[in-house]
Amino acid sequence: MDNAALPGDPKALTADAVRALIDHAILKPELTRSDVDAQLDEAAAYRVFSVCVRPSDVAHAVERLQGTGVGVGTVIGFPHGTTSTAAKVAESLQALADGAFELDMVQNVGAAKSGDWDRVEQDVRAVVDAAGDTVVKVILETAFLTEDEVVAASRAAQRAGAAFVKTSTGFAGGGATVEHIRLMRATVGSDTGVKASGGVRGLDTLLEMVAAGANRIGTSASARILDELAHRAETGAASALGDDSSSY
């Protein structure tokens, strides 16, 4: 599984190691083509691991990022997870045909809240099967779930063959928390990835998520995070956790 190894001391991460954690999110529905292009160019300039774009932008992003080393992922069943399994499979196949190298699918949150874990697992498994060797991450939308449901959803995704479990879409009124990352990592162990997404807007928050067990980060604040890391390296500033509450 790509990028699955758990990092060591998060405060000792190099710039290259931080870049390798980041899926740069370009998902807001109102983004214009020029907005998307600016974000793609920023991702290339900062050499992040990948971008995660809207399904309709995959082919364009693949073309624009060709030769940069930045991968192109996309979302499936986004943002609510309520589309049918057949629709998620069709969306996945189209994304793969357009050149996506990873898929972040939203689980059926209603089925999860109903305790219908067989349905949740079957939904995920269908996308995993359609994806073949392609990495599939399952978005749990933890803001809607109890701790017991986070555990059950993580286990269902793992049983279905998902490579990662992921906290959030960023569109549900709540994002990643340290507590949920710890819980997800404790549930899936070291063989499945854990992605923190939603509200990761600064370096200290990223470091907290990594320390809690995340080994991939979804964020639209890649430039801010990497600029802050470069500034600390240049000035010798300590990595003491600070305030990342401002929006970006």
Q: Considering the candidates 23, 57, 98, 195, report the single residue annotated as catalytic.
A: 195
Peptide bond into 79 cis (omega under 30): yes
* 8 Å CB contact between 43 and 222: yes
Reply yes or no on whether 166 is catalytic.
yes
Q: Which segment of 105-114, 165-174, 186-195, 231-240 scores lowest on mean pLDDT?
A: 231-240
Picking from 46, 45, 90, 40, the residue whose alpha carbon sits closest to that of residue 63 is 40
Mean pLDDT for the stretch of residues 50-67: 98
* pLDDT tens per residue, range 120-157: 999 999 999 999 999 999 999 999 999 999 999 999 99
Q: Tell me the whole-structure pTM to 2 decimals.
A: 0.91
Reply yes or no on whether 88 is catalytic.
no
| Alpha-carbon gap, residue 25 to 78, rounded angstroms | 13
Predicted pLDDT of residue 237? 66
Check pLDDT > 60 for residue 113. yes
Q: Considering the candidates 23, 57, 104, 123, report the single residue annotated as catalytic.
A: 104
Q: Considering the candidates 57, 88, 123, 166, report the single residue annotated as catalytic.
A: 166
Reply yes or no on whether 104 is catalytic.
yes
For 55, 146, 166, the CA distances from 128, given in Å and listed in that order, are 17, 25, 15
Domains of the chain, by residue range, sit at 10-230
* pLDDT tens per residue, range 218-241: 999 999 999 999 999 888 765 433
| Percentage of residues of the chain with pLDDT beyond 70 | 91
Predicted pLDDT of residue 134? 98
* 8 Å CB contact between 150 and 110: no
Q: How many CA atoms lie within 13 A of 89 on its CB side?
A: 12
Predicted pLDDT of residue 244? 38
Domain 10-230: state its class: alpha beta
